């Protein structure tokens, strides 16, 4: 601290900040309170007040966090707009030594740094030393606080107590006691998801029923995924080591979990196995199967709504498959969505009920069943390895750190195998167990009509056997919606 205050002819800016983690603590003044104290201090010193800048929340310790008010303060100081600044507590300014050095670098302009009790003349050796000591002390305090916080979280988790502040869906504020109405909804969502229901359908149902998130917001895809893949659903308490990034199970919630571990692992495996990108919409049955037949093109047809066209008889918006030029297509091929999906039904029934295709489809069914069996064997072997590791940990033959290191890839392998197994299409009737694949047209029509979206795509995949529906361009626009005309435009290649 300087022995004598250096006067400034320019105004002194006021900077205030309250950390989000401490905002509700009474021992730390609000930003309004900090500004009031700083104004009194400026008045006592006879200094003019400059601009008041407030960052209500961003951390001064984490360099990755943006602080708009602090950035503006530094800009004003470096341009010489203000003669310095005052903060309630130097720790509110920054906890990064490099930022302190930045201040010293512009001190040649007569910069004055004050807090509610101290002042620093950054043009003198003693002032620089006092300023550096204060900044380093603040950085040490933050680093020590971070280490103690991480240690406390780990000890809490290992004692069987979950970390976190916000109330998780399905639990009370203590994050341990189940909230029965929400727990029942979570069990319902997990079961429906495992049964193959689409995320969008689950989200629409939740929002239609007026069931919000714990923050009172509507459900979205990220929110639903976070909910269904949350480890506490099956009673696990986890801890992620900040140094290694390894996550391990360190405890269990008391009582019966909301979801069984088997169901939870299946749900997370389904998410883990999904490729990035936009999922197929239930409106577009032929998505990824239909391709453009324009010579030299061959791009996958994309679904789109046609709001400018007459709606369907049931009032739904008109839709098309088209060769999207923004995705590399030619833009010349388009076909009505319902007309193509209806034609696909006719083609699937025709192919699967044709006895000439029976042998090939039966072979495909055998191959699918064989692949499923091989995956079942691999899953059983991987689970046996995981169980052996757990047994060794229980007998004290390996340390917890070593267990965490080797169990993660084992769990990931199991999850990937289970997801691959769940993604296998229904192989259809297998000779010796069900009716022959050369069944009547009526039987296949019935099977199609009672199937859900995924079941119909499986039937389409079975009929095409790796090929595509190649759609030829119409004479104009989308062409006719007549099924006979649509079928004429289709070749299977």
The token duo for 246 is 């390894």
The token duo for 40 is 């009194």
Q: Are residues 197 and 326 in the same domain?
A: no
- Close Cβ partners of 39 (under 8 Å, ≥ 6 residues apart): 14, 49
Task: Judge contact between 62 and 149, C-beta under 8 A.
Answer: no
Q: What is the CATH number of the domain that holds 121?
A: 3.40.50.1390
Among the three residues 130, 146, 162, which one is the final residue of a domain in this structure? 146
Residue 301 and residue 323: Cα distance in Å, rounded? 5
Q: Are residues 349 and 363 in the same domain?
A: no
Q: Would 432 be classed as within a structural domain?
A: no
Looking from the CA of 210 toward its CB, the CA atoms found within 13 Å total 0
Q: Are residues 109 and 190 in the same domain?
A: no
Q: What pLDDT sits at residue 285?
A: 84
Q: Would 170 be classed as within a structural domain?
A: no
- Close Cβ partners of 312 (under 8 Å, ≥ 6 residues apart): 318, 338
- Close Cβ partners of 19 (under 8 Å, ≥ 6 residues apart): 28, 57, 59, 60
How does residue 60 score in pLDDT terms, banded at 50, 70 and 90? Answer: very low
397-450: per-residue pLDDT in tens? Answer: 777 776 776 677 777 778 887 777 777 665 444 443 444 444 467 877 888 888
Q: Which domain holds residue 413?
A: 358-423
Q: Are residues 327 and 369 in the same domain?
A: no
Residue 369 and residue 202: Cα distance in Å, rounded? 30
Q: Would 386 be classed as within a structural domain?
A: yes
Task: Judge contact between 486 and 470, C-beta under 8 A.
Answer: no
204-256: per-residue pLDDT in tens? Answer: 889 888 999 988 889 988 889 889 988 888 888 776 666 666 666 767 788 88
Task: Judge contact between 176 and 162, C-beta under 8 A.
Answer: yes
Q: Are residues 129 and 72 in the same domain?
A: yes
Q: Are residues 329 and 471 in the same domain?
A: yes
Q: Which pTM does this prediction carry?
A: 0.37
Region 296-301 average pLDDT: 88
Q: Are residues 342 and 376 in the same domain?
A: no
Q: What pLDDT sits at residue 121?
A: 65
Look at phi and psi of residue 338 and say left if phi exceeds 0, alpha if psi is from -120 to 50, else beta.
alpha
Nearest alpha carbon to residue 37 among 18, 53, 55, 16 = 16
- Indicate if the pLDDT at residue 122 is higher than 50: yes
Burial of 12 (0-12, 13-18, 19+ CB in 10 A): buried
Q: Are residues 36 and 78 in the same domain?
A: yes
Number of domains forming the structure of the chain: 4
How does residue 51 score in pLDDT terms, banded at 50, 70 and 90? Answer: very high
How does residue 64 score in pLDDT terms, banded at 50, 70 and 90? Answer: low
Residue 162 and residue 250: Cα distance in Å, rounded? 10
The token duo for 373 is 């069996």
Q: Are residues 32 and 109 in the same domain?
A: yes
Q: Are residues 79 and 102 in the same domain?
A: yes
- CA angle 284/289/292 to nearest 5° reads 100
- Indicate if the pLDDT at residue 367 is higher than 60: no
Share of the chain above pLDDT 90, in %: 4
Among the three residues 273, 298, 315, which one is the final residue of a domain in this structure? 273
- Indicate if the pLDDT at residue 128 is higher than 80: no
Q: What pLDDT sits at residue 195?
A: 79
DSSP string, 391-424: HHHHTTSS-HHHHHHHHHHHHHHHHHHHHHHHHS
Q: Would 403 be classed as within a structural domain?
A: yes
Q: What is the CATH number of the domain that holds 254?
A: 3.90.1750.20
Q: Are residues 18 and 135 in the same domain?
A: yes
Q: Would 52 be classed as within a structural domain?
A: yes
How does residue 158 score in pLDDT terms, banded at 50, 70 and 90? Answer: low
Q: How high is the mean pLDDT of the chain?
A: 75
Q: Are residues 199 and 261 in the same domain?
A: yes
Among the three residues 121, 146, 171, which one is the final residue of a domain in this structure? 146
How does residue 187 score in pLDDT terms, banded at 50, 70 and 90? Answer: very high
Q: Would 417 be classed as within a structural domain?
A: yes
């Amino acid at each position: 601290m300087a022995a004598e205050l250096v006067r400034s002819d320019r105004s002194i800016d006021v900077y205030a900040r309250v950390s989000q983690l401490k905002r509700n603590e009474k021992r730390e003044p609000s930003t309004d309170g900090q500004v009031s104290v700083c104004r009194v201090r400026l008045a006592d010193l006879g200094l003019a007040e400059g601009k008041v800048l407030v960052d209500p929340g961003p951390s001064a310790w984490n360099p990755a966090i943006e602080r708009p008010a602090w950035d503006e303060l530094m800009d004003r100081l470096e341009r010489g707009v203000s003669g310095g600044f005052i903060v309630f507590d130097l720790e509110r300014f920054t906890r990064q030594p490099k930022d302190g050095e930045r201040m010293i670098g512009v001190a040649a302009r007569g910069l004055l740094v004050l807090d509610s009790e101290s002042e620093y003349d950054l043009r003198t050796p003693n002032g620089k030393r006092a300023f550096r000591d204060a900044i380093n002390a603040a950085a040490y305090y933050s680093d020590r606080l971070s280490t103690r916080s991480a240690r406390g979280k780990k000890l809490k988790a290992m004692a069987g107590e979950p970390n976190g502040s916000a109330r998780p869906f399905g639990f009370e504020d203590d994050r341990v006691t189940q909230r029965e109405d929400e727990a029942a909804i979570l069990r319902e969502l997990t079961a429906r998801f495992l049964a193959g229901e689409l995320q969008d359908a689950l989200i629409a149902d939740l929002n239609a029923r007026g069931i919000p998130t714990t923050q009172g917001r509507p459900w979205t895809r990220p929110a639903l995924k976070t909910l269904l893949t949350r480890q506490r659903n099956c009673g696990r308490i986890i801890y992620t080591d900040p140094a290694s990034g390894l996550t391990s199970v360190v405890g269990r919630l008391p009582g019966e979990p909301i979801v069984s571990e088997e169901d939870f692992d299946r749900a997370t495996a389904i998410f883990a196995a999904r490729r990035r990108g936009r999922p197929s919409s239930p409106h577009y049955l032929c998505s990824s199967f239909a391709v453009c037949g324009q010579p030299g093109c061959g791009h996958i047809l994309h679904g789109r709504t046609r709001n400018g066209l007459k709606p369907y008889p049931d009032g739904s918006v008109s839709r098309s498959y088209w060769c999207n030029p923004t995705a590399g297509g030619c833009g010349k091929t388009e076909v009505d969505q319902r007309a193509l999906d209806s034609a696909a039904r006719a083609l699937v029934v025709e192919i699967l009920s044709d006895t000439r295709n029976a042998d090939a489809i039966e072979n495909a069914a055998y191959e699918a069943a064989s692949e499923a069996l091989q995956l079942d064997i691999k899953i059983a072997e991987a689970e046996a390895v995981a169980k052996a590791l757990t047994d060794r940990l229980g007998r004290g033959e390996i340390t917890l750190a070593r267990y965490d290191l080797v169990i993660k890839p084992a769990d990931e392998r199991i999850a990937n195998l289970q997801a691959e197994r769940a993604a296998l299409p229904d192989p259809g009737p297998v000779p010796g167990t069900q009716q022959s694949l050369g069944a009547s047209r009526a039987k296949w029509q019935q099977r199609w009509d009672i199937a859900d979206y995924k079941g119909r795509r499986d039937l389409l995949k079975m009929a095409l056997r790796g090929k595509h529906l190649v759609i030829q361009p119409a004479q104009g626009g989308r062409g006719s919606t007549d099924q006979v005309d649509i079928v004429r435009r289709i070749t299977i290649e």
